[in-house]
Amino acid sequence: MSTDKLSSPSSSSAGNNSGYSPLGGSRATTSSNDNPYLVIRKEPPSSVYSNESFEVEIELELPKTSSPPSTIWANEPIELTATLHDAKSGNRCTTEAVLVTEPMKITMPPSINPEMKRYCRVRCMIRMDSIRRDTGAALEVRFAPKYETNVISRASIIGTSTRPINMVNYKMRISMDEEWESVWYKDEGGRDKSMEVFASIYDKDGQLKTGEQIPLLPVLCYKVEGRSPSKVANQDILRTLGSNKIILDKDTGKARVRFRVEDVSKNHQGQDFILQIAPEPKSKGFKDVAPAYTPAVNVRSKRNKRSRNNSRGGLKDGLEKASPAMSRQRVAYEPSHTQSDNSFDRQDSGRLREAMKSVINWADEVVNGLYPLQWTVMGYPQHPDGSPDYSRPYHNMPNPNGLISRILSQYSDQVRDNLRVLLNAVEQSSASGNTSDDYNMSMALPREPTDPYSIMGAPAGVIHPAARAPLHPSFGPPDITRQTVGHGMPISVMAGEASRPGMHPSISSEAFRSRPDSSMAYPARTQLPPMPGLQMAAPPQYSFHGGLASSSAVADTSPGMEDFGHMRRSSDFQSQRSHRIQQSEDESRESEVEYVLAKQYKALRTGERLGFPAYSANKEILGFYRDASGKVGVGQFVPISRHSTEFGPLEIMQATEILEDAIAKKSAAVHALKDWGTISNLLDHALVYDWSKDIGGNSSAPTT
């Protein structure tokens, strides 16, 4: 690499002003097109930190009169010089900034084929010790041939310069809580529907800047491929929601920006919009902050009817087959969506996740919006003697109408539907947890509208052939709440009715079979009331062996007791099965571990040390490794689901940011699986690192 002492361009090119060629690259302007010239094909970033490297690609453009191209342009190498200049004055920088290039000697190699383009790539870096916050600095890099060493020096190759490079101390970043929509429909969801991003400022070390309230200005731009965004002439089509002024909070270092575009891309030659967010230009002291841009978005009016039906994943056919009564019920219950939209699909949990995020974000909006609405004391009236009257303070509060309308709009547009999605998911999850597997399968079958109690959809009076089959032990126990007999059962059933029409056979064969009048519901698992014909001096005592209940005091032939023992064994079997399933899920989550941060996490509420956080390849926290009981140094994986009370969505995002920050700082606490081969080796080195920090007195335990 080379620093300063670079050769300056010759007088024929150093004095030219920079411009842009029609081909997209920049070159020195000239009144003649008979000479070859250099063109910048790959421009540097518009804003860079001091000592931040960037790449520039330079190409030799031949004159149009050179047809066919002369071999002199292909056979000889061209040595170039690079110099740093002030973008406004054009003066060469001497001491205030230094240009470093790699390679040190810039040479454009000869072309193998005369028809091929000649180009070279140069990696540059600008060192600038002090960047003034009130003015900033705009520089450009000029490339020109070194004539004293070039054989073709008499050809007068015209030099070129890059576009202005703004030297900055800080750069803004844009983040989103939800996935960005590349197509946005402005006329769907009401006038308060908006796009939402969060802006923050970071220095070159990746540290979030706080401590200053910085006014921000959003500017609507067009996305231009390969070039800097261009500003939209009519900024009136941009509407921001919320406060009139967007201020970067000095405590959190972030600002929330909600905006709408009140015109469609079709009226702007189909171009995509992007939003530029930067400090207010009129505010002094923030010229050293680079702007940030949102992802591109194509704005449209609304979806047509066909695209809406297609986006619902085949719901159109289902609605056409539904009866008129059911259709009217859906319309009356939910005007904007059908009930089928709110059903929870177990194979696709993405919608449930999005619904939870929407409700959580809305709750944050409500809670955070309450604080500004509190009355604040402005002052106190005075007594006749001039002393303040503290019993009658003057209060003030901002206008709450905007916040209230925004909260209500979000609830009606998103939250209400998402709450129904969550409710349906909980109800289906509860139903699947209290019934057997074959009963769950029957729940997926359609119900007969004429019989609200029908499960299998069989017409009234028709008994399913399988209803007469006895209960097989592999089916598992029927739900105890559905086995009420004796006092709560109709006489016709107790008299010998084989099955309730439409009832599942595994339930009907047991719950509705003919039994003696003494048989009744089971009020408890460990104690039974006295029954006629069954002599016992005391309630039966049950002992447990290997997880199964046994009793010698109750005869197996007692009415109902054979079912009771079967239910008890099945319940224990289900418990063991659930434990094995949970253990399998934990092992599955542990197999995804790619990173371990060797820093002890401490719970905020209890102060308990949770262990080393473990992350996936996507830097999502999966759980913690902690010492197993009685085994020092042995890592026991505890999934994040065990700490649901301590880790919500916000805490999980913070954990991801902590890992990314540690990786950016190249912290030695970050242990990657690819570096150690196995989890066991990784945990050994993580423990050694943690112990070394304890000995040195530098250990830290971040809180959740």
- Each residue of 283-332: pLDDT tens digit? 878 888 999 999 999 999 888 765 555 544 444 444 444 444 443 333 33
Residue % of the chain over a pLDDT of 90: 21
**Cis omega (within 30 of 0) for bond into 516:** no
Burial readout 82-92 (b: 16 or more C-beta within 10 A, e: otherwise): bbbbbbeeeee
Q: What is the pLDDT of residue 383?
A: 83
Tokens 């970050």 appear where? Answer: 670
Sequence length of the chain is 704
pLDDT above 90 for 364:
no
Q: Share the mean pLDDT of the chain.
A: 70
Q: Are 686 and 675 in contact (CB under 8 A)?
A: no
- Decide which of 460 and 584 is more confident: 584
Is residue 207 classed as helix, strand or coil in its secondary structure? coil
- Cα angle: 278, vertex 283, 284; to 5 degrees: 110
Token pair recorded at residue 467: 């209803």
Q: What is the pLDDT of residue 536?
A: 44
Token pair recorded at residue 514: 């003919």
- The rounded distance, in Å, linking the Cα atoms of 212 and 215 is 10
**Cα–Cα nearest to 237, from 295, 299, 189:** 299
Highest mean pLDDT among 112-121, 244-253, 599-608: 244-253
CA dist 398 → 157, 242, 403, 687 (Å):
66, 12, 10, 53
Q: What is the pLDDT of residue 696?
A: 58
Q: What is the pLDDT of residue 47?
A: 92
- The rounded distance, in Å, linking the Cα atoms of 154 and 381 is 88
Is residue 21 classed as helix, strand or coil in its secondary structure? coil
Helix (H) or strand (E) holding 138: strand 137-145
**Banded model confidence at residue 197, pLDDT cuts 50, 70, 90:** very high
This prediction has a pTM of 0.42
Give the E-state strand segments of 223-367 in sequence order: 230-231, 238-241, 246-248, 254-261, 273-279, 289-290, 292-293, 298-300
Token pair recorded at residue 500: 């309730």
Is residue 598 classed as helix, strand or coil in its secondary structure? coil
Rg (CA), the chain: 37
- Decide which of 369 and 260 is more confident: 260
CA dist 417 → 258, 342, 616 (Å):
22, 7, 32
**Banded model confidence at residue 143, pLDDT cuts 50, 70, 90:** very high
**Banded model confidence at residue 183, pLDDT cuts 50, 70, 90:** very high
Considering only the top CATH level, what class is 171-300? mainly beta
Position 170, amino acid: Y
Average pLDDT over residues 394-422: 80
**Cα–Cα nearest to 141, from 177, 101, 96, 197:** 101
Q: Which fold has domain 11-168?
A: Immunoglobulin-like (2.60.40)
Q: What is the pLDDT of residue 66?
A: 53
Highest mean pLDDT among 262-266, 414-418, 501-505, 653-657: 262-266
Tell me how many helices (H) and strands (E) the chain has.
15, 34
**Banded model confidence at residue 262, pLDDT cuts 50, 70, 90:** very high
**Banded model confidence at residue 85, pLDDT cuts 50, 70, 90:** very high
SS3 content of the chain, % helix, strand, coil (to 5): 30, 25, 45
pLDDT above 60 for 77:
yes
Tokens 């599942």 appear where? Answer: 504
Lowest mean pLDDT among 75-84, 122-131, 273-282, 646-655: 646-655
**Banded model confidence at residue 695, pLDDT cuts 50, 70, 90:** low
pLDDT above 50 for 111:
yes
Q: How many CA atoms lie within 13 A of 479 on its CB side?
A: 14
Token pair recorded at residue 218: 């959003």
**Cα 645 versus chain centre, distance:** 21
